[in-house]
A and B are shown apart, each in its own frame.
Chain A
Amino acid sequence: MAQRDTTTESRGSKKPMDPKVRKRLERQTIALTLIVVVPFLCLLTLFLLVFPRSTVSQIEKRDLATFPALSLESLLSGEFTRGVTEFYDDTVPFRDAFKNMGNQFKGLFGFAPSEDDIRFVDSPAIVKPKNDATADTATTTAATTVEGAASRQKSTTAAATTTTVPVNPYTKEEAETNWSNGLIVVKQDGHYRAMELFGGGGGTAYADALNALRASIGANVRIYSMPAPLASEFYTPLNAQDYTVSQSDCFNGVAAKLNGGITAINVCGALSAHASEPIYCRTDHHWQPLGAYYAAAEFAKAAGVPFADLSAYTQGANSGFVGTMYAFTDDSRILNDPEDFVYYVPKASYTADYYDLSFLYEYTDDLFAEVDTDNSYLMFMGGDSRVVQVNTGVKNGRTLLVIKDSYGNAEIPFYTSSFETIYVADMRYFECNLVDFINKREVTDVLFTMSAFSLVGDNADHLSALLSQSGTVPAVTTTTLPPTTDATEPTKITE
């Protein structure tokens, strides 16, 4: 009671607080804090120790770290203990939920552009012409063997060439734009779209590899080069165009380096005409199957093969798709603005034989894998990790080999109406010698189709390796399942 009186007395008074009261209040606040903090820390420790650990991040589209293998060598090098820390930190229970919470919090760091937020400050006017030699140097770091924007050199300063961006409703107007983790996020037609800007490049390694292949195989084998533009070619608004390079110009530059006997196909014009359709993912760094369809049509025209229109396909859609761009940008606006991933399953019969990277047969299944919505783009052949042989009902004696990165995957279903046999190999992982493969599999047409980044970046180096590597093509034995017909839904690939 006496203490309470003293407390009341000191409240609002200029008289120094009684040291005993001060001490008591100090003890109380300390006790209160420790009562909250200590159990909180204990619970959090238990949570991390007891709850099942995450193994996959759907947001980041990757497998999380695994517990490291213990060996004397790994222990002494520090690799094991480093691995334990990485495992513990990477595989937090409900990691994706925490990631979303973290991104929501980071969204409070500044102003999110609003409808009234008018673009940028004064036009930067920092475009500089760049010659091809410097372009090549610049783009050595513009892409890596790992796909995806997170692994790429981001371009947030001025892009370095004069541009001739295809004119469409999106490129001739300004739009709400901001940079997020080095990528560009624009708001168009009421939706957010994240894009990688293109830094340009000479594509010399790519052209050299194709020319070397041309010289190594018979003239009867046709070679085509059809790079796949990134979304920024068609959707970069006027106010951000000084920061990206025309991919169409780049493709033309690379085409000029190709020797005779190689057909270069530039699909930028064809795609730009369809820019108002959903030809590119807004939340992923790939195109939508519809974009791949229009590109495939251009290739079929150039190759002189039949090509079925979309009525020959059964349309399916994964609603609520949020692709890689959310993880690349950490921008919660992308998470909150999902899209439909629309795919087209051929009605015509075909079979797909799956091989390992050295072309040893593994199994036969559909071209479409059953995947989670967030991994929709992985539905085509389950990704890039296998060589695939597609046997179609077409009888024209044409055998196509597609050398591609992941962009090429979405094109494959559309070639089932064009070629008798289709081989699909990812240039980054294929272990066979390319010339040996073409000769032994009696390939008549070779298509190189990959993203603009792969065209001018380090991925192109894999192409020359394909020509020089020693992996020979083994004899093939397959157990073919009955051809699929009238498929409407992807079926699960079982491994």
Chain B
Amino acid sequence: MQFSSLFFLFFFLPICLICYFAAKKIQTKNVVLIAFSLVFYAWGCPWWTMIPLLGSTVFNWAIAKAAVKNRGAVAGKIAIGVGVAVNVALLMSFKYVGVFIPGTTDPSAFLPVGMSFYTFQSISYLLDCYWEKSKPQEDFSKFLLYITVFPQMSAGPIVRYGSVEKALSDRRTTAVDLYEGALRAMVGLAKKVIIADSLLPIVDSFFGKDVAGMSVLGTWYVVIVYSLYVYFDFSGYTDVALGLGRVFGFRFDENFRHPFACKTISEFWQRWHISLGSFFRDYLLYLPIGGKVHKYLNLFLVWFCTGMWHGATFNYILWGLYFGAFILLEQQIGKKRLKKWPVVLTHLYSKAVIIIGFGIFYFKDFGQLGQFFLNITGLSLITNGAPIADPVTWSSLTGNLFLVAAAILCSLPILPALKERVQNSNNTLVYTGGRVIASAACVAMLVICCILLASANSAPNLYFAF
């Protein structure tokens, strides 16, 4: 089930909320949330997808207890080693099994929804418990809730156990939580349904077929639109997850901080899919491997894994290593020197790298990727005789100018800055008016979302596939 469907918004969610808030005790609330989360997960999926979910949950709960009990001893090391290895093996086997099956076009076709997310949550739980950052959960139902709670289950963020440990046993939903959570969810829904779902057809109409005939500026236009699409699709979905989590009394960590506002690639990854980046930083980057070349080897490993996490196709690995190479380059240049660069230059550099990176992310076909590079660099002017601009692109741009402009503006931290000013304002009119306008805007966006959802089904979230 996905958030951006009328069935979820106006059938599943209302029933879930009624049952949840009708329950008085936290234990009952947990049971309600687990039950609805399992239904949410199983809805539309084959029955067997529940086996790896429930199996890995039981396994990780038990192995964490065993590892902690024998911490420092060989048995403990074996337990934690086996725990991590089983999780990685399970994820890899589902994620990449398609590579070995002849005739399978999508290597991730057999991957149950959300497995990449809940497996990484489980690994973080095991290691945090073993490294004494968290205490293992004694109550299986609470651990099950941590893994399965539906707002974050299918497309993240990758929630650290420590950030929700207390809430699993004791949480309340205040009116502020309800208000902030609902507004956040509405904003997320609007990002997904109004912006991302409207940008996707533009991308499909150009990149959905041979790109050999595309102009240079046309390719730039479409890849920029695609970058915006991925951002709004994923961050919109995350906003809904964070908003709904808040409604249920959870505070999940932010997963995006306006990544396109970055000045360097290192900064971009501190703002983009933060929970994945921090996972690799905390659990992979500092692994004692590589000896003298430790730093470079680990960097390579992190970015190779970042690419691999997204899928088994070559373009994802290339995508990960591409960013790794630029981060290495920035490390060699040094932060201080980079800061001395003109701001315009750093923005141009980082946006160009990021946008071209999304081109790599899109094209699974090597030939098309090569053609994309020819187009984006302008070499296609020579190799294909392609034009600099073309009327189809112009037509698409003028026909979607306000949409693309709105997407660019909303991808920058302008609205949060306004919100902060309103929140900190000492003027009652500004404070009240600002909040009322924000609420009204969210309601208006919800109405538009409903109209769009009623007239056409929303595209599935891109990160469902990961």
Interface residues of A (CB under 8 A from B): 7, 10-17, 21-22, 25-34, 36-37, 40-42, 44-45, 48-49, 75-78, 81-82, 84-86, 88-90, 92, 95, 98-103, 105-106, 108-113, 117, 119-126, 128, 141, 153-154, 156-158, 160, 177-182, 239-240, 243
Contacts and interface: CB of A to CB of B under 8 A. Distances in A.
B271 to A, nearest CB: 27
Contacts of B403: 109-110
Interface string B443-459: 10010101111111100
B428 A17 contact: yes
B456 A99 contact: yes
A17 B455 contact: no
A22 to B, nearest CB: 7
Interface stretch (B5-13, B126-134, B338-346): B5-13
A329 to B, nearest CB: 11
Contacts of A154: 205, 208-209
Contacts of A103: 455
A42 B213 CA distance: 50
Nearest to A82: B44
A21 B215 CA distance: 58
Contacts of B392: 120, 124, 156-157, 179, 243
Interface residues of B, number: 71
Contact of B450 (A25, A44, A49): A44
A180 B403 CA distance: 15
B385 A126 contact: yes
Contacts of A44: 10, 450
A14 B426 contact: yes
Would you call the interface of chain B mostly helix, strand, loop, or mixed? helix
Given A36-B439, A121-B390, A10 B454 contact: no
B100 interface: no
Contacts of A126: 213, 215, 385-387, 390
B435 interface: yes
A109 B43 contact: no
Contacts of B178: 30, 34
A125 B213 CA distance: 11
Contacts of B427: 10-13, 17
A125 B392 CA distance: 12
Contacts of A28: 432
B401 A11 contact: no
A76 B435 CA distance: 47
B442 to A, nearest CB: 8
A109 B402 contact: yes
B101 interface: no
B296 interface: no
A11 B205 CA distance: 53
- Most A CB contacts (10 A, CB to CB) among B201, B397, B454 go to B454
A436 B251 CA distance: 72
A88 B7 contact: yes
Interface of B: 1, 5-8, 10-11, 14, 42-47, 175-176, 178-179, 182-183, 198, 201, 205-206, 208-215, 385-387, 389-392, 394-403, 425-429, 431-432, 435-436, 439, 442-443, 446, 448, 450-457
Contacts of A243: 392
B455 A85 contact: no
Contacts, number: 216
Contacts of B46: 76-78
7 contacts: A25-B435, A92-B455, A99-B456, A102-B456, A110-B399, A119-B391, A121-B390
Given A34-B178, A119-B391, A240-B391, 8 more contacts: A44-B10, A77-B46, A106-B198, A109-B402, A110-B401, A120-B390, A121-B390, A158-B213
B426 A17 contact: yes
A306 B22 CA distance: 80
Nearest to B11: A88
Contact of A99 (B5, B387, B428, B455): B455
A95 B402 contact: no
Contacts of A7: 428
B391 A157 contact: no
Contacts of B387: 122, 124-126
Contacts of B452: 102, 105
Contacts of A119: 391
A29 B435 contact: yes
A156 B218 CA distance: 11
Contact of A179 (B210, B395, B425, B451): B395
B428 A41 contact: no
A108 B46 CA distance: 40
B206 A10 contact: no
B7 A98 contact: no
A86 B8 CA distance: 11
Contact of B10 (A45, A109, A124): A45
Given A98-B455, A181-B205, A30 B198 contact: no
Contact of A30 (B44, B175, B391, B456): B175
The 6 A-B residue pairs with the shortest CB-CB distance, nearest first, are A120-B391, A157-B213, A102-B455, A98-B454, A99-B455, A109-B403
B428 to A, nearest CB: 5
B431 A17 contact: yes
A76 B47 contact: yes
A277 B355 CA distance: 49
B213 A160 contact: yes
Contacts of B183: 33
Contacts of B175: 27, 30-31, 34
Contacts of A99: 454-456
A55 to B, nearest CB: 15
A111 B399 contact: yes
B394 A121 contact: yes
B220 to A, nearest CB: 14
- Most B CB contacts (10 A, CB to CB) among A29, A75, A77, A154 go to A29
A15 B439 contact: no
A478 B211 CA distance: 55
A85 B211 CA distance: 35
Contacts of A109: 198, 399-403
Contacts of B206: 156-157
Contacts of B215: 124, 126
Contacts of B442: 33
Contacts of B44: 78, 81-82, 85
A41 B398 contact: no
A85 B453 CA distance: 12
A81 B42 contact: yes
A110 B456 contact: no
A22 B47 CA distance: 51
Contacts of B426: 10, 13-17
B428 A32 contact: no
Contact of B7 (A17, A31, A85, A160): A85
Nearest to B405: A110
Contacts of A49: 10-11
Given A30-B175, A103-B455, A84 B198 contact: no
A124 to B, nearest CB: 4
B451 A101 contact: yes
Nearest to B389: A121
A182 B200 CA distance: 13
A195 to B, nearest CB: 14
Given A26-B435, A157-B209, A41 B456 contact: no
A333 to B, nearest CB: 11
- Most A CB contacts (10 A, CB to CB) among B179, B210, B211, B214 go to B179
B395 A177 contact: yes
- Most B CB contacts (10 A, CB to CB) among A98, A119, A121 go to A121
- Most A CB contacts (10 A, CB to CB) among B183, B398, B400 go to B398
A84 B7 contact: yes
